[in-house]
């Protein structure tokens, strides 16, 4: 894997023009981060930590006040590279209804391709491939508004996939979904990453972050942790101090450890917990 995304000492502020005089709110305070091609990175942080602002830097929705963002060597401040940057990095937002524009699923997935003048035969191929990838090909002639939240979000992801991005940034894509919809989207994300797509997932669900290969924690406009899920979630007290939690299974494990049960303190998945408990019970036979 090579360096793919480089965020270098980025400062970003929002200005409230309604105040008199206008007030400036610094959201990112000299943030630096590198993401390699093919990585699956989850970004955690409470509301106002700067994680969504960071996400929008990656395909030039936001531009740095100072510092720079490089996408595969392209500077997001270079207007002449804007199309190439947005072709390289696709965005999926938390409300799929905001990204669905057509009344038929396959027409929605084809919308952006038609706008950039892709040949009809290539559009057909890409649309079918994208819908197959997210498991929605059989719904290609359905009306999006009749689908479930999880299905709509998969259609939104298919629309981004059809543009053939090398990276997809997802800004809390499961926030509006029920548990079934969340599971559908996380399975899709894992499949995309396994196929080589770089994933940056902005989330406030600890269990989702635990599925990533790397977790970045933000607080008050700065990165305060950046490591594997096991190492980040082993710092339960640090996470709680910034308004975050640990996966439910990690919370359970720590509670059992306090009761004298000998378990590793870095368990982050249910399967891992079951296996460790089974081993303990087996030894006690």
* pLDDT for 53: 94
Burial of 190 (0-12, 13-18, 19+ CB in 10 A): middle
Of 100, 154, 102, 95, nearest in space to 130 by CA: 154
pLDDT tens figures, 159-200: 999 999 999 999 999 988 888 888 999 999 999 999 999 999
Phi/psi of residue 114, each to 5°? Answer: -65, -40
Helix (H) / strand (E) element for 60: namely none
Strand 3-16 relative to strand 23-36: parallel, antiparallel, unpaired? antiparallel
Separation CA 261–CA 84 (nearest Å) = 54
* pLDDT for 82: 93
Contacts of 156 (CB under 8 A, 6+ apart): 92, 93, 96, 99, 100, 173
* pLDDT for 15: 84
Separation CA 32–CA 283 (nearest Å) = 47
Do the beta carbons of residue 38 and residue 44 sit within 8 Å?
Answer: no
Whole-model pTM above 0.85? yes
pLDDT tens figures, 76-112: 999 999 999 999 999 998 899 988 999 999 999 999 9
Of 189, 97, 183, nearest in space to 143 by CA: 97
Local structure of 91: helix, strand or coil: strand
Local structure of 285: helix, strand or coil: coil
* pLDDT for 2: 56
The chain-wide mean pLDDT, for the chain, equals: 91
Helix (H) / strand (E) element for 124: namely helix 120-133
Cis geometry, peptide bond prior to residue 21 (ω within 30 degrees of 0): yes
- Please name the residue that has the structure tokens 């498991």: 135
Local structure of 54: helix, strand or coil: helix
Domains of the chain, start order: 37-60+79-228 (3.40.50.300)
- Please name the residue that has the structure tokens 């740095």: 64
Polymer length in residues for the chain? 285
Q: Is a pLDDT exceeding 70 seen at residue 285?
A: no
Mean pLDDT of 208-212: 93
Q: Is a pLDDT exceeding 70 seen at residue 216?
A: yes
């Amino acid at each position: 894997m090579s360096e793919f995304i480089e965020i270098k000492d980025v400062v970003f502020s929002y200005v409230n023009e309604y105040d008199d005089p206008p007030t400036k709110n610094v959201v990112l305070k000299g943030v630096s981060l590198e993401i390699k091609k093919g990585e699956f990175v989850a970004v955690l942080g409470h509301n106002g930590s700067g994680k969504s602002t960071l996400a929008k830097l990656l395909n030039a929705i936001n531009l740095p006040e100072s510092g720079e963002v490089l996408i595969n060597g392209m500077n997001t401040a270079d207007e002449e590279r804007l199309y190439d940057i947005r072709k390289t990095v696709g965005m999926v937002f938390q409300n799929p209804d905001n990204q669905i524009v057509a009344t038929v699923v396959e027409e929605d997935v084809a919308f952006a391709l038609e706008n950039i003048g892709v040949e009809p035969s290539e559009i057909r191929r890409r649309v079918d491939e994208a819908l197959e990838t997210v498991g929605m090909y059989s719904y290609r002639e359905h009306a999006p508004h009749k689908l479930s939240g999880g299905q709509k979000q998969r259609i939104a992801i298919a629309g981004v996939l059809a543009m053939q991005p090398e990276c997809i940034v997802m800004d809390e894509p499961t926030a509006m979904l029920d548990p079934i919809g969340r599971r559908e989207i996380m399975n899709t994300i894992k499949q995309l990453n396994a196929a080589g797509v770089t994933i940056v997932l902005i989330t406030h669900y600890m269990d989702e972050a635990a599925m990533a290969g790397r977790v970045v924690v933000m607080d008050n406009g700065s990165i305060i942790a950046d490591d594997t899920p096991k190492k980040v979630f082993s710092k339960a007290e640090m996470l709680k101090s910034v308004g975050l939690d640990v996966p439910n299974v990690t919370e359970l494990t720590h509670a059992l450890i306090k009761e004298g049960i000998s378990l590793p303190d870095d368990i982050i998945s249910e399967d891992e917990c079951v296996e460790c408990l089974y081993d303990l019970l087996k030894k006690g036979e």
